[in-house]
Amino acid sequence: MTAKVADPKTVLLRADHLRRQIGDDFRDRIVSSLYADARRIADRSVRVGAEQKWDWDQKVDRIVTSPVLGLPIMLGILALVFWITIVGANYPSQMLAEFFFVVESTAVALFTDWGVPAWITGFIWNGVFRGLSWVVSVMLPPMAIFFPLFTILEDLGYLPRVAFNLDWLFRKSGAHGKQALTMAMGFGCNAAGVTATRVIDSPRERLIAILTNNFVPCNGRFPTLIMLATIFVAAAFPPAFASFAAAGAVVGVVLIGVGFTLLASWLLARTVLQGEASAFTLELPPYRRPSILRILYTSLIDRTIFVLWRAIMTAAPAGAVIWILANINIAGVSLAQRSADFLDLLGFAIGLDGVILLAYVIAIPANEIVVPTMLMIYMGVGMMSDVTSYGEIRTLLVEQQGWTMLTAINLMLFSLLHNPCATTIITIWKETRSARWTTIGALMPLAFAFAVTFAVATLWRIFA
């Protein structure tokens, strides 16, 4: 007698019906049941001489994974890491910038003495080299501080607790709890965050993590965020509290980025990447004493040098483009200024201006050069310029260029949400090997940036 074979469509409909009856937490209940059975077996098989007490790990975990205290502690640690990075990076960045300036001045003088044509000297040293020196001096110190701090938390065993605290948020958005770890890596560099998505087993959820990692600001965007937080936020506080106010403002921007990460994950999980979140059972590892050698290798060699080298390779062409645009004139007006004028209308629509948009176009290879590019165009000089203090920047931007609070707010939002840098785009391609997903990963954040800043600018002009 031949058995009747059920129609596949009928089987799938029946499975879907049963799944809805079981509920979304069926996997968690199965795991809880398994642990309960294991506990009953252990209680029947093992005798304990004295009353069992919570060990040190469990006592700490009851605090750092608490539903009430877990998230505030996490935000406090994040704010502390940002504050140390912001304060600690200032002096080494300035020293590196001064060193590169001396190298550039010496090289320019030598080329001049050797009779090298001025345009070659300018292109090599005032263009390519200065672009590279800006990226290194601005990017290296924050990475050299942030990555070791981050690696200490990783080596200590705290990052799995972060994933545990945020798992329910990512699961609600249709993503994987481990995305919290990859998102945290994005604070140092989005390219590193994209690479870190390899810890997610599900291809669908890994792709969601890749496409949304750009919504957390990397250290290449910190210079812009720190500048705006210092000029428009910290300036309103006494000097003793200015750095804390700036760090608080940056943390606020980070929280907005986390919100957009969850929103974009939710949209992707319900449209082009539909599917169920594969909830994972995370056994929290014991806390460990951090290994100094492992921290130094992982943070400085495997992360800092790796990311910095990619940034250098993409920043060199950007420095050349900036120099060419600033030094080729048409009817007495540089190509940079003409390009900025062309983008002015679009910039006004989103509360910015053409100079800012042009700076972001040029800075696709490396976000670190956004601020110096803006200053160069505003000042009308032929190379990226360094302004010695935030007071001078405020005078240039607010009093001479007419920046308002709307400009500052929308620039922070645009800096947070805009397209990833070339290094991250290349990394997305290497991780997905798909032109489609690489294009979506590059353009989706830009669509968010334009939509959000346009909405804010429109509402500001209506109600302000």
pLDDT of residue 445: 95
pLDDT of residue 20: 61
For 219-262, the pLDDT digits (tens) are 778 778 877 887 888 777 777 777 778 778 888 888 899 999 99
At 265, list the tokens: 């994950």
Residue 31 has pLDDT above 70, yes or no: no
Name the residue range of residue 425's domain: 66-275+310-463
Residue 141 lies in a domain: yes
Residue 386 has pLDDT above 60, yes or no: no
Residue 291 lies in a domain: no
Length of the chain: 464
pLDDT of residue 143: 77
Question: What is the percent of the chain where pLDDT is above 70?
Answer: 86
Q: If you average pLDDT over residues 67-93, what whole number do you get?
A: 82
d(CA 215, CA 273): 18
Residue 406 has pLDDT above 80, yes or no: yes
Q: If you average pLDDT over residues 208-229, what whole number do you get?
A: 85
Residue 290 lies in a domain: no
d(CA 370, CA 358): 9
pLDDT of residue 186: 83
Residue 264 lies in a domain: yes
pLDDT of residue 262: 93
pLDDT class for 28, splitting at 50, 70, 90? low
Residue in the structure block whose two tokens are 């200032």: 90
pLDDT of residue 3: 54
pLDDT of residue 282: 64
**Using an 8 Å Cβ cutoff, are 136 and 96 in contact?**
yes
Question: What is the percent of the chain where pLDDT is above 90?
Answer: 23
For 166-191, the pLDDT digits (tens) are 878 888 888 887 888 788 778 778 88
Residue 419 has pLDDT above 60, yes or no: yes
d(CA 421, CA 192): 12
Residue 6 lies in a domain: no
For 105-126, the pLDDT digits (tens) are 899 899 999 999 988 888 888 8
pLDDT class for 371, splitting at 50, 70, 90? confident
Residue 258 lies in a domain: yes
d(CA 178, CA 163): 6
357 vs 179, more confident: 357
Output the average pLDDT for the chain: 81
Residue 249 lies in a domain: yes
398 vs 462, more confident: 462
258 CB-contact burial (10 Å; exposed 0-12 / middle 13-18 / buried 19+)? middle
Residue 463 CB partners (closer than 8 Å, separation 6+) = none
For the CA atoms of the chain, what is the radius of gyration? 26
Residue 326 has pLDDT above 60, yes or no: yes
Residue 18 has pLDDT above 90, yes or no: no
Residue 4 lies in a domain: no
User: What total of structural domains would you count in the chain?
Assistant: 1
d(CA 171, CA 164): 11
